[in-house]
């Protein structure tokens, strides 16, 4: 007797609607009842940018500018918010995972999508700063979608991986927090990759986020795409992150309901 596994008849349309509904609910809840709402998502990069511009630019006299910092900080907070949010997306929805059968991947994916939307909504503000600082749009801006896609792939891969493994190894959520702080300084965000001493330059190839950050800044401020080999290295590592994230998720998802 041949029988199919539970035929839930789940359509792609349902999956898309589910991710959309979860994302919009999370975003609405985050700013529900706050007067400034979405504007708060600008507060962190702007405040950090202002402080660093003063501390590094004026006090230490490095000549670093606010727009230089902001062009790195806005994408950085997208990266950090997405990875950090995804880390808790399974363990924070234990009740749901235990009781309802649905494609589990929608949880981290909707968290990542929420952070991405927030970034997309803050992008006009960043571009406003860039233009106000005297950097008009150039042909290189056409490369922005490529950098955007690279970073989206990277946060999705890392987010899926961290979310899945955290279910079994809770310490990972805290380890992620520490690693994110280290990564912030290890990545050329508040400095430029050119300043990295020759002997350590390879590090910016091993770090898939480095060319992405350089990319945002190079395109927006200097009208120049990052070096092709640098981008290729980043694309390769991003593909690796996606494969690792998906692989870990598929391997571990069957046990989620029991492990939480």
Partner 1 sequence: MPSEGEVVLAARGVSRRYPLAVPGQALKTTLLHPGQAFAAWRHRQRRELWAVRDVSFEVRRGEFFSIVGANGSGKSTLLRLLAGLSKPTKGTVELRGRVSTLLELGSGFHPQVSGRENVIMNGLLMGLTKREMEALLPGIVEFAGLREFIDQPMRTYSSGMYVRLGFAIAAFMDPEILLVDEVLAVGDAKFQEKCYDHIAKLQARGVTIVMVSHDLGAVERFSDRAALMERGRMVAIGAPRKVVGLHLERLAETSPEIRQAIDEGMAADEERVRRLLEEDPEWAAAFASALEQNPAFHEKLRQQQAGQGAGSDARAD
DSSP assignment letter at 225: P
CB atoms near residue 54 (< 10 Å): 12
Minimum CB separation from partner 1 for residue 253, in Å?
10
10 or 58, CB closer to partner 1?
A: 10
Minimum CB separation from partner 1 for residue 66, in Å?
37
Residue 124 interacting with partner 1 (CB under 8 A): no
Residue 178 interacting with partner 1 (CB under 8 A): no
Nearest Cα to Cα of residue 163 among 246, 234, 101 = 246
Residue 109 interacting with partner 1 (CB under 8 A): no
Q: What number of H helices and E strands is found in the chain?
A: 11, 0
Q: Which contiguous run of DSSP H or E holds residue 237?
A: helix 228-252
Ranges within 188-217 binding partner 1 (CB under 8 A): none
The structure tokens 């970073």 sit at 151
Residue 95 interacting with partner 1 (CB under 8 A): yes
Cα separation, 172 vs 165, whole angstroms:
7
Cα separation, 177 vs 175, whole angstroms:
5
Minimum CB separation from partner 1 for residue 106, in Å?
9
Total number of residues binding partner 1 (CB under 8 A)?
34
Residue 21 interacting with partner 1 (CB under 8 A): yes
Cα separation, 90 vs 73, whole angstroms:
27
Minimum CB separation from partner 1 for residue 12, in Å?
10
* H helix runs in 133-227, sequence order: 144-168, 171-186, 203-206, 209-217
Q: Which of 36, 54, 60, 101 binds partner 1 (CB under 8 A)?
A: 101
Q: Which of 11, 35, 59, 228 binds partner 1 (CB under 8 A)?
A: 11
Residues in contact with partner 1 by the rule CB under 8 A: 1, 3-11, 13-14, 17-18, 21-22, 25, 28-29, 32, 95-96, 98-102, 169-171, 254-255, 257-258
């Amino acid at each position: 007797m041949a029988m199919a596994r539970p035929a839930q008849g789940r359509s792609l349309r349902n999956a898309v609607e589910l991710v959309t509904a979860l994302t919009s609910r999370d975003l609405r809840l985050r700013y529900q009842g706050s007067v400034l709402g979405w504007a708060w998502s600008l507060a962190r990069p702007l405040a950090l940018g202002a402080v660093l511009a003063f501390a590094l630019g004026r006090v230490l006299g490095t000549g670093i500018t606010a727009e230089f910092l902001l062009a790195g900080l806005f994408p950085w907070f997208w990266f950090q918010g997405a990875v950090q949010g995804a880390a808790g997306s399974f363990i924070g929805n234990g009740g749901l995972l235990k009781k309802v059968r649905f494609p589990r991947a929608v949880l981290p994916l909707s968290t990542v999508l929420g952070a991405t939307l927030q970034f997309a909504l803050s992008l006009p503000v960043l571009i406003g700063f860039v233009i106000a600082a005297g950097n008009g749009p150039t042909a290189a801006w056409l490369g922005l979608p490529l950098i955007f896609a690279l970073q989206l792939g990277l946060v999705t891969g890392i987010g899926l991986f961290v979310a899945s493994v955290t279910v079994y190894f809770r310490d990972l959520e805290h380890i992620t927090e520490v690693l994110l702080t280290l990564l912030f300084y290890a990545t050329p965000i508040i400095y430029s990759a050119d300043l990295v001493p020759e002997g350590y330059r390879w590090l910016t190839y091993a770090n898939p986020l480095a060319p992405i950050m350089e990319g945002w800044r190079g395109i927006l401020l200097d009208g120049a795409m990052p070096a092709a080999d640098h981008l290729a290295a980043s694309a390769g590592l991003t593909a690796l992150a996606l494969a690792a994230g998906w692989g870990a998720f598929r391997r571990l998802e069957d046990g989620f309901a029991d492990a939480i």
